[in-house]
Amino acid sequence: MGVFGSAGTVLRPGDGNSLSIPALQITLKISGERSQAGSLFEIVAPAGFDVGAHVHSRSEEFFYVLDGEVDLLAFEPTARTAGNWQAWRSAGGDQVLRGGPGAMMHVPAGCPHAFANPGPAPVRLLFQSSPPPDHERYFEELVDLLAAGPEGRPEAIAALRERYDIHQLTPLIPGDPLPEVTGDHPSAVHLGSE
């Protein structure tokens, strides 16, 4: 855990440490060095992206939709089928929600969850994971792994997920490539670091 001072953090749109993987663009806004509450990320996901249903035994997460529409799952289904999690239902009647800007999802530890972009444009989400810095390290190692090439990637990704408490229930689907967008508009996709 980092040492916390009395000074806060203020970022302009697009500021933060950005990582890009084929399926997502991720900007770390607040790290475990600055907060003991959680790591905060801005995520841009392309049309067709599906993180796949998964569960964490230790992590608690929040997702908040900034732009676009996403399908959101955060409940234990009557059956964890290997296919389409969008069709899952809970014993209490819960079902997947399609939410636009302002929709929010809270995921306690142990709760199956997923999000997907049904398209046609990229979506932007604010994502908080606690405790830090597990997701920060996971994303950094995933970027390094994907940059190293395709050899052994499925086994290496499975081992990485296991190490960071990500138990995949349905497959991740990468979706369409993200467009390169530049500018100072808050929805612009920025690559690079602060």
Q: Which of 22-26, 64-68, 100-104, 122-126 has the lowest mean pLDDT?
A: 22-26
Instruction: Give residue limits of the domains in the chain.
Output: 17-168
User: What is this structure's pTM?
Assistant: 0.82
Rounded CA separation 122/109 (Å) = 28
Position 183 confidence tier, pLDDT thresholds 50, 70, 90: very low
At the second CATH level, the architecture of 17-168 is Sandwich (2.60)
- Round the average pLDDT of the chain to a whole number and report it: 85
Residues 144, 51 contacting (CB under 8 angstroms): no
Q: Specify the higher pLDDT residue, 33 or 178.
A: 33
Q: Which of 29-33, 64-68, 93-97, 148-152 has the lowest mean pLDDT?
A: 148-152
Helix, strand, coil percent values for the chain (each to nearest 5): 15, 30, 55
Nearest to 29 by CA among 48, 8, 15, 19: 15
> Mean pLDDT throughout 20-40?
86
